[in-house]
Amino acid sequence: MIVPLPAFIAVPLTAAFVLPVFGRRGRSAATLLANIVTISLLFMAVSSLNQSRSYEVGRWPIPLGINLVLDGLSGLCLATIAIVACGAMLFSASYMERYTAKCKFYSLFMLMVAGMNGVVLSGDLFNLFVFLEIASIASYALVGFGTGPEELEASFKYMVLGSIGSLFVLFGVALIYGNTGSLNMAYVSRAINESSFTPAVGFALSLFIAGFGLKAALVPFHAWLPDAHPSAPAPISAMLSGVLIKALGVYALARIVFNVFGISVPVAWVLVALAVLSMVAGAFLAIGQWDLKRLMAYSSISQLGYCVLGIGLGGLIIASGGSGRQMTWASLAILGGLFHLANHAVYKSLLFLTSGSIEMATGTRQMSRMGALAERMPLTRAACSIGSASIAGIPPFSGFWSKLVLVIAAVGAGYYWVAAIIVFVSLCTLIMYLKVHRYVFLGEPAGGQEKLDRVVEPRGSMAVAVLMLACLCVLMGLLLLPAVRAVVLDPAAEVLTSGLDYSRRLTGL
């Protein structure tokens, strides 16, 4: 089935424009509509995997008009966004009963999804900025959705840093326009690589790295994430940690660095350094946390480092200009990074959703005030165990496979220290999730037995969402089977390894 590309943006946007009209009485209708939209987005995304085409909006040929580009990488990102959105939306159907203005919540959720889809599909730098802003502004509002003091503080911090990131990107776009006279990524790439690498282009590239690094919360720019992600309602935390930082950060960074500017050795080293810093610092900071969601937020920083590491390492090998054998390792590293990106989206959103169930049942996020929840919440415990096993890289769960691919690629290419860091951070991750299990599910009940008796397992749509993501976590390893890999992961890695072919394909030169 060929899905027209604007549908990925038009469907959630139309839903977002209609949803606020449903008042208090139309809540169940709004819930139904929102779920139908996310599920249909999932079908659309899955049917667009492994396709490659470009769509000219308004029938204007590029570079006059804006084009939407679907290739393996954007297909993978679209599918990931749709899976997590589907789970989070199912979860919020009953979780968000606690809050007022539910219809506006759905509307903001849809706007965020539309913004991310727009970023992933866009083939135009300024258009990418506009959709980046849609997704970011919706997420600022969603972080402050509860309007409590902490939520507002986190939301303000996030908004200030996010706005600076967006302005860096905008300034970079302005510089690029001033130098190349074009905004279309393919034409910009052609113009940059035909002329020599001027300082202005380098400055624009560093502005992009800083801007998208702020959105992706790589370590020197990570200050907002540990506040913002825990403060949001649980389904939104799942969306933010699961896909938002990846679509706005990692995807945009990879696309711009690889396909527009072309990878070079210094840039690849910058990416690897940022990634290693994020992995190590995120893991160390996470171990010390006692707030359940905060711990998970820090671990997101660390896990995001893996994705950037895979991509950066692949870029490093490509840019060093190795032989055919080295190129195999490069594409393997990139494949590992992208595979980890999809895996992390699934298990981190699963973990955040279970943390939402726990918070709803116990009324606290402090691990010291929980304990012995294993008997009362068996499903949540099972789901949390699966998620933790995946994130810590225990076979046969999904995280193991992507880390294994990364380690193999690093060793094969001769970067032994990278492999050592991957294994070490993986051990730290294991420790932090053992801590979660020890204090949340085992041990003594902190609030006394009678408080424990009032804890109930979530039912209905929340349980369905958690089950769905947990099953996916187990099954994600199947993506490495050659037949499946050729459809999902290989085309995505191919887009990045082929680099500047992107522009040649689109401009037809």
Partner 1 sequence: MNGMTVIVKTISSWVKVLIIVFGVYIVLFGHLTPGGGFAGGVILASSYVLLMLAFGRRFVEDNLPLSLASKLDCLGAFLFMIIALLGFAYGGAFFANFLYRHYLPGDRFALISAGTIPLSNMAIGLKVGASLFLVILTLSVFRPSSDEPGGRGV
Partner 2 sequence: MSVFYVLLLLILIASLIAIETRDLLSSVICIGAVGFGASLMFLFLRAPDIAITQIVVEVLGLIILIRATISRDLTFISGDREFFGLVVSVVIILVVFLAGMEVLAGLGRFGMPVMARVPDAASAAYIEGGLEKTGAANVVAAVILDYRAYDTLGEATVLFTSIIGATVILRKEAKEALSEA
Partner 3 sequence: MAYALCFLLFVIGLYCVVVKKNMVKIVIGIMVMEYAVNIFLIMIGYRAGGRAPIAAADDVLAGGGLSDLFVRSCVDPLPQALVLTAIVISLGSLALMISICIRTYERYGTFDITEIRRLKG
User: Would you state the structure tokens that stand for residue 496, as one six-digit string?
Assistant: 């990045």
13 forms part of the interface with partner 1 (CB under 8 A): yes
Buried b (16+ CB within 10 A) or exposed e, 295-322: bbbbbbbbbbbbbbbbbbbbbbbbbeeb
Q: Which residue in this structure is represented by tokens 């199912």?
A: 90
In this complex, which beta carbon is closest to partner 2, that of residue 202 or of residue 447? Answer: 202
178 forms part of the interface with partner 2 (CB under 8 A): yes
In this complex, which beta carbon is closest to partner 1, that of residue 14 or of residue 461? Answer: 14
In this complex, which beta carbon is closest to partner 2, that of residue 133 or of residue 227? Answer: 133
In this complex, which beta carbon is closest to partner 2, that of residue 13 or of residue 77? Answer: 13
The mark string for 42-81 relative to partner 1 (x by CB under 8 A, - otherwise) is -------------xxxxx----------------------
* CA Rg value for the chain: 22
- Please work out the total of residues on this chain that contact partner 3, with binding judged by CB under 8 A: 35
Which residue from 160, 143, 261 is spatially nearest to 207, judged by alpha carbons? 261
Which residue of 148, 220, 288, 414 would you call a contact of partner 2, by CB under 8 A? 148
Q: How far apart are CA 25 and CA 263, in angstroms?
A: 54
Site residues for partner 1, window 136-165 (CB under 8 A)? 148-149
26 forms part of the interface with partner 1 (CB under 8 A): no
> What does the H/E/C string look like for 426-443?
HHHHHHHHHHHHHHHHCC
Q: In angstroms, what is the minimal distance from the CB of 365 to partner 1?
A: 17
Which residue of 3, 46, 56, 177 would you call a contact of partner 3, by CB under 8 A? 177
294 forms part of the interface with partner 3 (CB under 8 A): yes
Which residue of 3, 18, 39, 46 would you call a contact of partner 1, by CB under 8 A? 18
Q: How far is CA 444 from CA 372, 378, 432, in A?
A: 6, 16, 19
Q: In angstroms, what is the minimal distance from the CB of 211 to partner 3?
A: 12
Q: How far is CA 435 from CA 128, 348, 372, in A?
A: 40, 17, 13
3-class secondary-structure state, position 397: coil
28 forms part of the interface with partner 2 (CB under 8 A): no
Q: Which stretch binds partner 1 (CB under 8 A): 7-15, 36-44, 351-359, 462-470?
A: 7-15
Q: Which does 191 bind (CB under 5 to 8 A by kind): partner 3, partner 1, partner 2, none?
A: partner 2
Q: How far apart are CA 500 and CA 503, in angstroms?
A: 6
List of long-range contacts for 20-24, beta carbons under 8 Å, 24+ apart: 20/103, 20/104, 20/107, 21/103, 22/103, 23/103
Contacts of 380 (CB under 8 A, 6+ apart): 354, 357, 358, 361, 373, 457, 458, 466
Which residue of 146, 322, 412, 447 would you call a contact of partner 2, by CB under 8 A? 146
Residue 55: Cβ within 10 Å count: 14
Q: Which does 198 bind (CB under 5 to 8 A by kind): partner 1, partner 3, partner 2, none?
A: partner 2
Q: How far apart are CA 101 and CA 120, in angstroms?
A: 29
Q: How far apart are CA 85 and CA 240, in angstroms?
A: 10
Residues in contact with partner 2 by CB under 8 A are 13, 16-17, 20, 57-58, 60, 63-66, 97-101, 104-105, 107-108, 111, 114-115, 118, 126-127, 130-131, 133-134, 137-138, 140-141, 144-148, 152, 155, 175, 177-184, 191, 198-203
Residues in contact with partner 3 by CB under 8 A are 126, 130, 133, 137, 140-141, 144, 147-150, 152-156, 159-160, 163-164, 167, 170-171, 173-174, 177-178, 183, 226-227, 231, 285, 288-289, 294
